[in-house]
Structure 1
Amino acid sequence: MHVFSHLGIMTFFCWSDQELAVIPQESAAVPMVYSPSTRMNELQEVWISLIRALEFYWYEDNEGLSKTVHCSSPGQTAAYFLHGEMELVRQFEQGQLDVCIRWIKRMWEQMKTESWPIPKVKHMAVQLRREMARLAQAGDPDDRQVDGFVRHRQLEAWMLDQLKLDLELYMRHTKMWSDHPEINKIIDYINQHYAQNITLRFMAQYVALDENYVSSLFKKKTGESLIHYVQRTRVEQAKALLLETESPVSDIGLRVGFENDNYFIKIFRRFMDVTPSQYRKSANQ
């Protein structure tokens, strides 16, 4: 008998020239699957099938011991996940915690829907975690904890916790959006309160500076007007909601701070060259 372990999945091989009987226990501390005796020329197929069978526990939080050799085929949406990873990194760099959380939840739900193999899910988690740690200048992350997760939801919760920690560290390193503290304060406020009524006058009062001075200073330090920055932030939030929800376009516009449908569609199209409905349709194809 010998043991092979990878990404927290441990396989026990019992070699014998005689038929072996498996006596299952009433309960198990971790999810387990097993196979009856198998010929050598069938070993690879059965082994893969057993690892796929663990998804019965990984995705659905089931308990117990299962005997199965059924093998299903995972969905393949590599292009979608490449886009998701790139978008997650981009939103991370902009300090958009809410959008990053939504992207991770949507990716995890997609993996469950398509029944991704557990090693592939864990590899994706490690890849994302390393990228976030790199951006946060957190050094080489300890990925060993990923091996110990036996449920899809546990790994998702851990990823969200790590996201918050890494983004907090990233913001401490790069919070200086510009070299002017009042402009940084304004940007931070917009990122946190984009759905509220934000005007140049209000932000000037917020940082106790002259309105005209704030207008010219913001453009000088960021390369865009304050109102343009507010609109772009709202559009980025709307993009995530269009992809992850089935809410009407009008509701999404209101949620991110646009006063009416027509204005939302007009501004969204200015940034994206398509309407919100067209963006949602093309992204889901």
Structure 2
Amino acid sequence: MIKPSRSLQFTSLGIGFLFLYIPIISLIVYSFNESQLVTVWTEFSLRWYKALWQDEELINAAWLSLRIAVLTACASVVIGTWAGFVLARMGRFRGFTLFSGMINAPLVIPEVIQGISLLLLFVEMAKVLGWPAGRGLFTIWVGHVMLCISYVAIIVESRVRELNPSLEEAALDLGATPLRVFFSITLPLISQALVAGWLLSFTLSIDDLVLSAFLSGPGSTTLPLVVFSRVRLGLNPEMNALATLFIAFVTVGVIAANYFMQRNERRKMAGLV
């Protein structure tokens, strides 16, 4: 088998990265453009960042999306961790197939179907119980949690299966309760998976358009809905500024998460030496 040369490997890798990141770089560059035309450069300016700061609709939508994303990520990690641990450690109990299918169903069911189902559920609940009175932050949050639980459960399940069960068995032999073992032994060992699941859930929630369209109501328009409605009328340089801020926010978050995970890993390795 002929192995490709190192120069060819680097060239292919460079072309792949350019294909992925040139659009993002051009978006960031044009966010500092003075012109109202998104593809015509005139001069450097912070005009669109100032306009973005004064745009109450976008700011309110961004704040709502951030709140929903944080709440979704936290709830998804709690429920998804429990589901992933059950799938990995409880064996094939009665109803295992049904339980596994229910956890994995949101991965294969189109979001349109999920949105319609939840919308009908909330409408009937409002008729029978009088709650929820309207669609807003709570209904969107429920839909996003339903979507993100599956991703967290898969991440946690794969990580728990990789753990050495002898560590937990040793703690049980020393008199620790199963609950104490989970919080003192298992949870720290899968902390990186929990961080990954939290970040993935946050990203999926803040980026979701379909479920939010079905589950939102007056006064609860998320950022993707506002952006989508504006882009349909034409590209606006203000969207470039908004996208640049989100890219910077996500980049800082990912770098910080990687730094803390690597630092914890180094501490664990140093403790084993």
Same-fold status (TM-score > 0.5): no
Q: Which has the larger radius of gyration?
A: 1
TM-score normalised by the shorter chain: which range applies? under 0.3
Structure 1 length normalisation: TM-score? 0.21
Higher RCO structure, 1 or 2 (CA under 8 Å, sep 6+) = 2
**Higher percent of residues as helix:** 2
**Higher percent of residues as strand:** 1
